[in-house]
Amino acid sequence: MVSMARDHIYISGLRTLARIGVLPHERESDQPLQIDLDLEVDLSEAGITDALDDTANYGAIAEAVVDVARLSEDLLLERLVARIAERVLQFPHVEVANVTLTKLRPPIPEDLDSTAVRITRTRVDMKVSGRHRAIIALGSNLGDRVAYLKFGLDRLRNVVAQSQVFETDPVGGPDDQGPYLNMVAVIDTDLDPYALMRRLLSIEAEAQRIRVVRWGPRTLDLDMLFYDDLHLTSEDLTVPHPRFAERRFVLEPLSEVAPEFCPDNWRNRLPAYGVYPRGPLADLTTVELPIN
């Protein structure tokens, strides 16, 4: 299993008029500008769902960028291009913005076609707000369990914390299941909860998970435990996860990365057997672990 490379959306030759410049005559009238964008975006989900919500809407981005430029009172191209990058990075799914801002036919005595500034900014660079914190439980009990967990963690992206791995006895489902490897990860995401749920399902599908028997064996299981402080109950999604407080194999790893979400007295309330710490995922090999 190989991590997918970052994808790109290009918006080229976007032209507008804006009043920008330091010289007095540059402040007297609008001047022609061209804006070119190279946006680094994860397009894997949009390639599966064919849904506009799962990609960066280039039409909306173009409109927003033109508004920033037209309303500009900036003196320098350097300032305006930074504000354009910041605005673009506020759009869902855009992780990196490469922005080229060109002033066409600059009003100076020399014979000059254009002058341009190009910058690259990330969400971290610009301290863009609007991200959400989600907590995801990962599990596997089919095939190369360690490899499937590593694949799931890699595909989640923007992981800010992860528990160690626990080997756990199967709970519910068929009697002939093998033991699970379980862990919990904390991620930052710009997806809404429904889009994030679709993303989790698509990652499971990439891992060849087959849904035949409820609580049956699986190559990779991804459950959304929490999404910010949201409480949501719908036909498609319930957050927090409705059974997380009943499962020691969830609470043990959860207590390592977000103990504030664990219910009071859970260690004394739930049976103490069936969950065995195995160490950090990075230290585990892809060889099947021994069963207690």
End-to-end CA distance of the chain: 28
* Residue found under tokens 């990365």: 257
Q: Among 70, 53, 65, which Cα is nearest to 90's?
A: 65
The 10 Å Cβ neighbour count of residue 78 is: 11
**Active site residue: 87, 93, 103, 155, which one?**
103
Q: Among 109, 189, 181, which Cα is nearest to 145's?
A: 181
Reading the block at residue 231, the tokens are 């409480």
How far is it, in rounded angstroms, from Cα 204 to Cα 152? 8
The answer to whether residue 150 is catalytic is: no
How far is it, in rounded angstroms, from Cα 155 to Cα 246? 27
Catalytic site positions: 103
